[in-house]
Amino acid sequence: MEDFVARGSALIGSPAQITDKLLALHADFGNDLFGVGFEGFFFTDAATTRGHLECFFAEVVPVIRAELR
């Protein structure tokens, strides 16, 4: 599981870890667009999923935008 999290496509971890992973993917592949899906498999309810989405858009997205400008 640790190898999958580290090397796979799953975005699992703290906002800083996810930001680092997305920036590394950009460095490796030069992509300008990220498609990120939030699946309910790991989340217990809508409020938890919403919390993860809010965290992603508040803490990850602004850093990615600033770094890729």
What gap in Å lies between CA 47 and CA 28, rounded to an integer?
34
**Confidence at residue 22, expressed as pLDDT on a 0 to 100 scale:** 93
pTM: 0.82
**Confidence at residue 55, expressed as pLDDT on a 0 to 100 scale:** 94
Give the closest residue to 64 by CA, choosing from 11, 28, 21, 29.
21
CB 67 within 8 A of CB 23: yes
Which residues have CB under 8 Å from 64's CB, separation 6+? 19, 22, 23, 34
**Confidence at residue 23, expressed as pLDDT on a 0 to 100 scale:** 94
C-alpha neighbours within 13 Å on the C-beta side of residue 31: 12
- Does residue 2 or residue 66 have the better pLDDT? 66
The pair of structure tokens assigned to 42 is 């790991």
Each residue's pLDDT tens digit, 14-60: 999 999 999 999 999 998 888 887 765 566 788 888 888 899 999 99
